[in-house]
Structure 1
Amino acid sequence: MPTSAAAPPGPLDGILVVSIDQAVAGPLCTMRLADAGARVIKIEAGEGDRARDYDKALGSTSAAFGWLNRGKESVVLNLKDPGDLALAKAMLAKADVFVQNLAPGATDRLGLGAAQLLAEFPRLIVVDIMGYGRGTPYAAKRAYDMLVQSESGICAVTGTPDVPSKVGISIADIGTGTNAYCAVLEALLQRGRTGRGLAIEVAMFDAMSEWMSLPLLHYDYMGVETARYGLSHASVYPYRPYHCADGDIVVSIQSTAEWVRFCTAVLHLPDLAKDPRFIDNWARVQNRDALDAAVHEVFTPRSCEEMIARLEAGQIAWARVSTLHDLSVHPALRRIAVEMPGGERVEMPRPAGRPVASGSKVPVLGADSARIRAEFAPGAAPAACSRA
């Protein structure tokens, strides 16, 4: 991959972020901040972020750690040691943002709770990422991705009619980290107007229950309990894969106009568009089995190539069900190059919305400890870090 030119300063250039984060949700938030140009210092214990050793997919580190920790600095501190704890507080005194996703109550016990920090450093933005919101009966409960998917009802609407399933990626962690990143950006804008920091609470359960709004609203206000339909959509129809002679094609119908075009240009059954059983979306949802039988009669004996040509002619959205191999070679996949702690160069998907320059590095555990200790030691010269 050709070496990219040095990237211009990002929108968060001059912002100092200190994190005590691990696994996925916290590191994703701080990676986004680093991608945007912030300086991110990751405080790790002597054994490091547990995600470093999930596997050795990338040689010197795991796939998860390599994905989520580019562009950061690593300092090893023992926060139970008074000297190291004092150094951490010296870092926070100069920081703009503090992000943590330790176990419930851990930062409070260290004297690094949000209320304590804001009393000392009123311009600091403190982000606590947790499983369940404070003030709820679940506040002290430990939380991991699949546990939150289960508790929030995600698994109740995911899978087949017979078998509930989690989503195959860590959506609770990823959604929470993304929400935390957005909240930090809003807090920085607010601080620019008020001059004051903010305590932000981002709960994984809140993130997932908000994503469950559609099935929850259907249940609360229509008495409809969303069923599991595998690759079929629960409330928009037809929106599912159909079998062709040599593979499957996912078809999506989102409007009455598309339904009419689907019947005429794709199925060559114009009268089907007027059938009372299928006259609108909710009717099609209620009569999905009869609709599927009619559609499969057309799709099953024909090739994917022929049906894709018809879908294109009818301006109907479609997709294939890609395997991981298909994704790896997909013509729409854009990548960036990232250097791992052992020097390996790894290509990974480019983050949406921001062309991160290749050459970002994932830190060796404690690689920046000596420099950071010197920089933030009592009496050290002020760091060149502007504050928004």
Structure 2
Amino acid sequence: MSQLKVGLAGLGTVGVAVVQMLERQAAEIEARTGRSVKVVAVSARSKGKDRGIDLSGVRWHDDPVALARDPDIDVFVELMGGDGDPAKAAVAAALAAGRPVVTANKALLAHHGVELAQVGEASNATLHFEAAVAGGIPIVKTLREALGGNRIERVSGILNGTCNYILTRMADEKIAFDACLADAQRLGYAEADPTFDIDGFDTAHKLALLTSLAFGTKVDADAIYVEGIRSLTLADLEAADELGFKVKLLGVAVRTEEGIEQRVHPTMVPKHWPIAQVSGVTNAVAVNGDAVNLTLVGPGAGGAATASAVVGDLIDVARGNGGFAFGLPVAALQPAQRAPMQRHEGGYYIRVAAVNKPGTAATIARRMAEEGISLESIVQRRPQRAAGVEPNDVAVILITYATTEDAVRRVMAAIEADGVIVGQPQVIRIEKD
């Protein structure tokens, strides 16, 4: 029985978990594929570090690019991370040599995925990246293969466990954002510098890949409108709860008449939606097609979950399962026709700190009417310092009926210019049935 010889670059949490899983499941994997799958060569930053795995008999490469070019490996696994070198150079080298690549690197693929897929096509080498999106959820294979007969209209999801953990704690335990973030860092759910997660960029990278798979477009992370969760307060989550919503950081790609609308931002979703029930560090992806609607839920990060996706791709390689990285040949991928965010339509939650003086409410209502924005409800609340409202001001929450992003932006600019609100208004988009 033949052996699939694996070269693995990156021996962090995920890399170690991959080695352990391949050893633990060796008999089952061989039975499923007809081949043994074994790590025979590795590369990492520190050779002498104790990682709790036995690497005796495994060749060591100081240079991951040299590992990628090693003629004695059959497949290259890249788990180093980063959107540039050495990850990019190593992946390109392996593909150029006709060697399949398995990677979990969403940042690399979001910026260079099409280019790398083209390198692979030229040398008949396949590029696999199930682990790059939503951890252990098999959404890449689902979109690329299982739903290949559908016309996909919308893909949306909770794609970042750090943000979902923070929002869950805030809503359920009434804990402020900064305290939740500190707990996430202490527990290892957030990095010391959490910018990439909480400002939405991690979600945007993953959404860029899902958009390409769902709609047959070139990966274009720059086409995505991105907002993070830093500005959310307990007052916003409590208001959402009273209105029948949960707040989630969603990545959304939807087909419109103008093109593909791609956006990442905090969103109010109805409590009865399956995605609203997803809590903690769990991820979820909802797909709406002309034949099938489904929601996949599972662990979005962590060594075991990500290793599961990597090993799944290695099993595909061992079986000889290939195909085009993004479901179509690179030449057939269309440029992503961008739908301007200003044309987005939907309901909006708007919280402002209104100056407590005669005429304020009338000024706000007049500006809304001038933009043709109908209000579903207006709620005034007593001053709440936690929401950034001074004692002499009043917290006003406006819920709009469906309107456009452009109209909301114009009306908020006009109200600020009128001097009837203080501070930065909070605007959260609402998704409804």
TM-score over 0.5 for the pair:
no
The structure whose Rg is larger is: 1
1 or 2 for the larger relative contact order (CA 8 Å, sep ≥6)? Answer: 1
Higher share of residues assigned strand: 2
TM-score under structure 1 length normalisation = 0.32
